[in-house]
Structure 1
């Protein structure tokens, strides 16, 4: 069976993902930077972060399942054929919003986030950090600590 299946939040927590409901909490609790990136630069940064952390240590959130039917229809209308194919491979559940991060997911989610169609957050757990977006092509990045921030210094 193909497709991308959701991952329970508890798995991300067990792996040490930096999860917080409000961005202000991230700014007050964690080391952080706010990066300005074009969509291709943002996508490249996420791809490198995926490579650094490995496939089993990278996740994203995707809230499509929590949209109303009308909102979902509008969302689908904003997508290319390639993006619709990716969407059809995601097993959407309203109650679960976390998914394993793959290169095709990065391409899809970085685009819809940069275009402000639907926002996604990216979670890396080998070297714990969380990438929020998008605030007019500015992306807050939160790190577990200064040491973890240093792991990503070449990307910043």
Structure 2
């Protein structure tokens, strides 16, 4: 039995464009320094578990329907893709491959499985993702030695996240 039959997953509908994300009100920065100068921010850091839990708390507060990430897998060459696959288990590889990401497909709508994969790859410094949230407009830029810059739409969102989500 091949993997596709064993773990059939249709994830092609998880792709989303940057324009669609901007219409949903994401914070988008092309340069991290611009983010530091434009948005209220802080750094979350700690163990892999601590940082991943902070991101998962943002997903829970925003709802999975308001949670997105960038995922540059489609832009990787075969050697780089093989390095990513080495960090994943059989089911995770099938999930990633089922996305059928082209070089132009960068952004994805998260689901629980994809969230776990992207957190794993980012925390292990195999392939980095940025996480975008729209209910509480927040951007989590991963990963600089387990230091994740977090940008907020404004001070109100930052205080809400700090006082109500990350408690």
TM-score w.r.t. the length of structure 1 is 0.92
Answering whether residue 56 of structure 2 is matched by residue 10 of structure 1, we say no
Is the CA contact (8 Å cut-off) linking 1:6 and 1:91 kept in structure 2?
no
Deviations 1:11-40 (A, max 9, x none): 110111011111101101000001113222
TM-score w.r.t. the length of structure 2 is 0.87
Unaligned runs of 5+ in 1: none
Aligned-residue offset at 1:79: 1.9
Q: 2:62 aligns with which of 33, 40, 53?
A: 53
Q: 1:36 aligns with which of 32, 41, 45?
A: 45
Aligned-residue offset at 1:60: 0.4
Aligned-residue offset at 1:95: 0.4
Aligned-residue offset at 1:52: 0.9
Is the CA contact (8 Å cut-off) linking 1:43 and 1:106 kept in structure 2?
no
Q: State the number of aligned residues.
A: 156
Is the CA contact (8 Å cut-off) linking 1:131 and 1:140 kept in structure 2?
yes
1:99 aligns to what SS in structure 2? strand
Aligned-residue offset at 1:127: 0.9
Aligned-residue offset at 1:119: 0.2
Aligned-residue offset at 1:75: 2.0
1:3-152 correspondence runs (5 A): 3-4=11-12, 5-152=14-161
User: Matches of 1:47 and 1:89 in 2, distance apart?
Assistant: 23
Indicate the RMSD between aligned Cα atoms, in angstroms.
1.6
Deviations 1:106-152 (A, max 9, x none): 21111111111000000001110100111111110000000000121
Whose Rg is larger?
A: 2
Off by >4 Å, runs of 4+ in structure 1: none
- Which has the larger displacement, 86-95 or 15-24? 86-95
Unaligned runs of 5+ in 2: 1-8
1:152 aligns to what SS in structure 2? helix
